[in-house]
Structure 1
Amino acid sequence: MTGVSQMVASVLFGLAALSGGLSAVAVIRSRGGAYRPDRGAALAALILTAIWAGACAALGHGRPPVLLAEVIRNLAWIFLIYRLFANDGRSETVRAVRPLAVALGLVEALQIAFIAAGHGFETAEIAGLAAETSALLRVLVGIGALVLLHNLLAGAADSSRSMLAWITGGLALLWAFLVNRHMVAYLAGPMSPEMTGGTALVVAIAVPIIALGYARGGADLSLRTSRPVTFRLISLALIVIYLFAMVGLSSWLGWMSGDYSRIAQVGFLLAAGALSLLWLPSPKSRKWLQVTILKHFFRHRYDYRSEWIRFTKTIGCAPDETRPLSERAVQSLADITDSQSGLLLLPDGEDVFSLGADWRWSLPDLPNPAMSDELTRLLEREELILGFDEARRGIEHCGELPHLPDWLMAEKRAWAGVPLIHLGRLVGVVILARPLIPRDLDWEDFDILKVAGRQVASYLVEQSSQQALDEAARFDEFNRRMAFVMHDIKNVSSQSSLLLRNAEKHLDNPEFRKDMLITLRKSADKLEQMLARLGRYGTHTADDREVFDLASLARDVQMRFRAMHPIDFVEVGQCRVVGIREAFDQALSHLVQNAIDASDADAPVTIEVANGGLRGSIVVLDRGSGMSPPFVRNQLFKPFVSSKKGGFGIGACEARELVRAMGGRLEVDSREGIGTRFTASLPSADAAHLMSSSGTRCTSLENEAA
């Protein structure tokens, strides 16, 4: 060996010795599991292998002590194979393989004589003959060991096969390499440094695999390549084979004499390059390669985990959120079968199925209905996946052939029809186009499309339910507006009725006539305001707030109601607050009207404005029948609940919502037989200005500190 080759070989043998030692330690630490009759034999074989590899690293491979250690190592591995047959109690098999194991051991023991012959005689012919005979006998020993391993795994019980898989795999790797190594030595003479280093590398890989079979969880370990890795490895292998073929053919053409060889080489390389550029990148060729690999390398066509992740990502969180769910539903099913396009048929209000969405499928207007009632009932009852290629050949499964629509049978792209079933009801049908590589539907397609179709149906039903809830919410909002408007109309009607009753008594009074005109004008204005508010309930924002005088607003309300009922107003001067004047006027009108309705005709209602510094408030006090604490606590602010006969129960609810919407509070204190006091408060303008100025100063100080 050269110096570099000897150094590399020594390093590899050192690695093999370390691997064998660590594997032996792993087997020792796994003794806590079930009893194994082959554990001691495996431990001895691993230790002897580590000793042999260490001797090779220290002394070199061709020394007699090293060769003798190799014989002992091989005998240990043969004994391990024999002991492996006793794992599942196959006593007859153990007796049957014992003669073969003994024969292999005896043949391997003959290597001691060949070692002595090769190093004891100086004659080159005798040494060469001994080396050839030794190599041939070890080839036979290796083949016999592989035969034993095959019978061991093939005849093992199901309970033992998973346990033996790793051990037999490592031993098969080791003995297969030794067979090839000694065959090369028999045919080509002494081993090259590369082959010697390769032996150490194979041993370093094989012994940990064998040790895995003795681990406590080793029986549950399995090696499964993922589909993307398999596709890439096979694609890489094809590219390498293609390149080697091109280089080999180009070299073969180079052997031709004359200028024709150069012309042939250039033409061949151009043709090969054009072929690779046209065939390899094409989607159809890639799809053909994928289908071929799935058919011959995997038990199932679909990688269900990857398909489900892609399905959920497509239908649940599409990158383009502007696409409707119906289009993403079609794509999610088309991606599973590699279909290039698809249609979605949905029922209308009368359960007539028509085109609901399409994905990459342009069609003229479909007939309406697109499917007959008989076919939809059949799909709903049988949950049948339609195969249109089979139907065109006259094959049917549930009597669906007479009911298939003519436009689908004439559309050559139509390949499969997937019913979308939710709780036994057909909510849609997805029509999938034929994939790039034509094929018939099989049981795997039926299973996965049926499950995915149910999931798509649940998404569509959920969306339909959400749309119905949104529509119901809009109707509810409209009904709320109408209820508030009806309440306001009722108030105006009550005011007008009360005004007419008072007019019979006080029409000759000039002051009354003046107040009556003001009240009628206010009522007309209020009706116009109600019509304007009908379209903008709930549309006020913080930007609509303004500063207004609470006392002035209370005085206007008093003037509006005093012609109908005695109103006392307690003046306290100006009280500027921040809010929405129109909304607060509406809330205060509700409270005053409720107070008037709860009071006797001669019992005045009191309106008092108070300035508390931080907040300005209006108190509406009546001396009516009052309300019980449970009613105030649980029912007062609920719509359509009223303590008055014929009342709507809207005024207090709307008043509180209006006051809260502008940052205020509405409080109530009521005693049965005594009366009720409502207090509506808003932030004062001075306090709001102070808070705003303080926030500005704090922000400035923070900016300066930063």
Structure 2
Amino acid sequence: MSLLGVVGYGVAAVVWLILFLLLLTSWRGRLQGGLLVSAVLVTLLWALRAALYASTEVAAPDWLYQTLEIIRDVAWLGFLAALLEPLVCKVCTHHWGVWFWSVLIGYATALFVVDVQPLWGAEFNLPVDIGILGHIGLAIAGLVLIEQLFRNTRPQRRWATKFLYLGLGVLFVYDFFLYADALLFKRIDPVIWEARGLVNAISAPLIALAAARNPEWSMEVFVSRRVVLHSTTIFGAGIYLLAMAGAGYYIQTYGGAWGATLQLVFLTGAGVLLAALLFSGQVRARALVLMNKHFFNYKYDYREEWLKFIGTLSSGDPSEPPRERVIRAVAEIVHSTGGSLW
């Protein structure tokens, strides 16, 4: 059993499940949105099967896992093609779509036959591993579609789709790396395969941001700023603690007789610094500005800010002059410590 593989693909399954539920509840019936939901669902099932496969001691190929992987790639390629078609094919008829899907399904069927043929007791005596080459071909096709989508998207619209390029780009680049290494060394590297689950989990939040920025996909995805801020804080604190733990271990190992003492002092100082950053209003304000600037269509969650503004005006010390209360209500929206009214 591969514990890292089980954990990695298990985390990926949870992340993709959350994304699937989020997209399913916000889908409004358009084709592009339906293809996105389908691709996310297949990726979820693929991650679940990979986690189960990693938990077993069986070294033989798993036909269901390989089938889901091929379907996953086909689903993402179909979604990318649906986004690309209106950009590059202004006068095309529906025959273009029929041709594309026929070629893609035929390619995937041939790859499936090659992948599972050892289970039938048959072996194709070929000079190279056609199955690995087939998976490399799917990864390259995905990267080509992403590149064409980027080139044919207007520069002012790339802000809305850049996270889709990053999310699916990570997925296809890592697949290319996995199978190129397998083609070179004649076997799937277990370390690269185990890390693949966590790498795929990274793609899901990026795709969620892309869906939130593209309502024309018929996806009205709402991501709470408060949830994003708290999640980012927890994630950043976790990375910081891991880095400090590694540095503390290095100090203890190479610090000689003073190693243990220096480690305790270092970790205490690191903990104090983390607490100071977490409770710093200035750091929180800068993080909110950065998040609102790069991850959301609008600078503020207007409903939440309006309710907070009304709450500030209607509460507080009765002896506080109305003009000061108004200044304080406006200042809190922009995270300012003061203001003036004239």
**TM-score bin, normalised by smaller chain:** 0.5 to 0.7
Q: Deviations over 1:157-215 (max 9, x none)?
A: 99x99xx99999997787567446646766773558x859959x97xx89xx9xx9xxx
CA distance in 1, matches of 2:181, 2:173: 13
Q: 2:330 maps to which residue?
A: 333
CA distance in 2, matches of 1:325, 1:300: 30
Q: 1:244 maps to which residue?
A: 242
Going from structure 1 to structure 2, the CA distance change for 1:246 and 1:108 (only over 3 Å counts) comes to: farther
- Quick check: 2:47–2:197 contact (8 Å CA) kept in 1? no
CA distance in 2, matches of 1:238, 1:47: 28
Q: 1:264 maps to which residue?
A: 262
Q: 2:307 maps to which residue?
A: 309
Instruction: Please tell me whether residue 235 in structure 1 is matched to residue 233 in structure 2.
Output: yes
Q: Deviations over 1:294-314 (max 9, x none)?
A: 454456554443333222222
Shift of 1:322: 3.5
Matches within 5 A, 1:100-115: 109=110, 112-113=113-114
Q: Deviations over 1:205-226 (max 9, x none)?
A: 89xx9xx9xxxx9744233433
Counterpart amino acid of residue 324 in structure 1: P
- Quick check: 2:77–2:145 contact (8 Å CA) kept in 1? no
CA distance in 1, matches of 2:165, 2:327: 49
Going from structure 1 to structure 2, the CA distance change for 1:104 and 1:274 (only over 3 Å counts) comes to: same
Structure 2: where are the runs of 5+ without partners? none
- What is the alpha-carbon root mean square deviation over aligned residues? 6.2
* The structure with more helix, counted as a fraction of residues: 2
Counterpart amino acid of residue 309 in structure 2: F
Structure 1: where are the runs of 5+ without partners? 344-417, 419-428, 430-706
TM-score when scaled to structure 1? 0.32
User: RCO (CA 8 Å, sep 6+): is it higher in 1 or 2?
Assistant: 2
- Quick check: 2:237–2:274 contact (8 Å CA) kept in 1? no
Q: 1:139 maps to which residue?
A: 136
CA distance in 1, matches of 2:312, 2:45: 58
Counterpart amino acid of residue 236 in structure 1: I
CA distance in 2, matches of 1:42, 1:69: 16
Q: 1:446 maps to which residue?
A: none
CA distance in 2, matches of 1:153, 1:69: 27
CA distance in 2, matches of 1:52, 1:332: 50
CA distance in 1, matches of 2:87, 2:335: 47
TM-score when scaled to structure 2? 0.57
Q: 2:273 maps to which residue?
A: 275
Shift of 1:236: 1.7
Shift of 1:334: 3.0
CA distance in 1, matches of 2:128, 2:188: 12
* The structure with more strand, counted as a fraction of residues: 1
CA distance in 2, matches of 1:295, 1:278: 24
Q: 1:189 maps to which residue?
A: 188
Instruction: Please tell me whether residue 155 in structure 1 is matched to residue 155 in structure 2.
Output: no
- Quick check: 1:71–1:111 contact (8 Å CA) kept in 2? yes
Name the count of aligned residue pairs: 305
Q: Deviations over 1:218-248 (max 9, x none)?
A: 7442334333223222222221121011111
CA distance in 1, matches of 2:75, 2:284: 49
Q: Deviations over 1:232-284 (max 9, x none)?
A: 22222221121011111112223316313224323322332343344543434
- Quick check: 1:104–1:144 contact (8 Å CA) kept in 2? no
- Please say which structure displays the higher CA radius of gyration: 1
CA distance in 1, matches of 2:326, 2:197: 55
> Residue 255 of structure 1 aligns to a residue in which SS?
helix
- Quick check: 2:178–2:188 contact (8 Å CA) kept in 1? no
- Quick check: 1:330–1:342 contact (8 Å CA) kept in 2? yes
Identity %: 23
- Quick check: 2:33–2:219 contact (8 Å CA) kept in 1? no
Q: 2:61 maps to which residue?
A: 62
- Quick check: 1:85–1:152 contact (8 Å CA) kept in 2? yes
CA distance in 1, matches of 2:300, 2:254: 50
- Quick check: 1:49–1:73 contact (8 Å CA) kept in 2? yes
Going from structure 1 to structure 2, the CA distance change for 1:332 and 1:86 (only over 3 Å counts) comes to: closer
Going from structure 1 to structure 2, the CA distance change for 1:86 and 1:190 (only over 3 Å counts) comes to: same
Shift of 1:330: 3.0
Q: Deviations over 1:341-389 (max 9, x none)?
A: 445xxxxxxxxxxxxxxxxxxxxxxxxxxxxxxxxxxxxxxxxxxxxxx
CA distance in 2, matches of 1:330, 1:319: 13
> Residue 319 of structure 1 aligns to a residue in which SS?
coil
Counterpart amino acid of residue 142 in structure 1: A
- Quick check: 2:181–2:188 contact (8 Å CA) kept in 1? yes
- Quick check: 1:185–1:191 contact (8 Å CA) kept in 2? no
Counterpart amino acid of residue 240 in structure 1: G
CA distance in 1, matches of 2:276, 2:48: 55
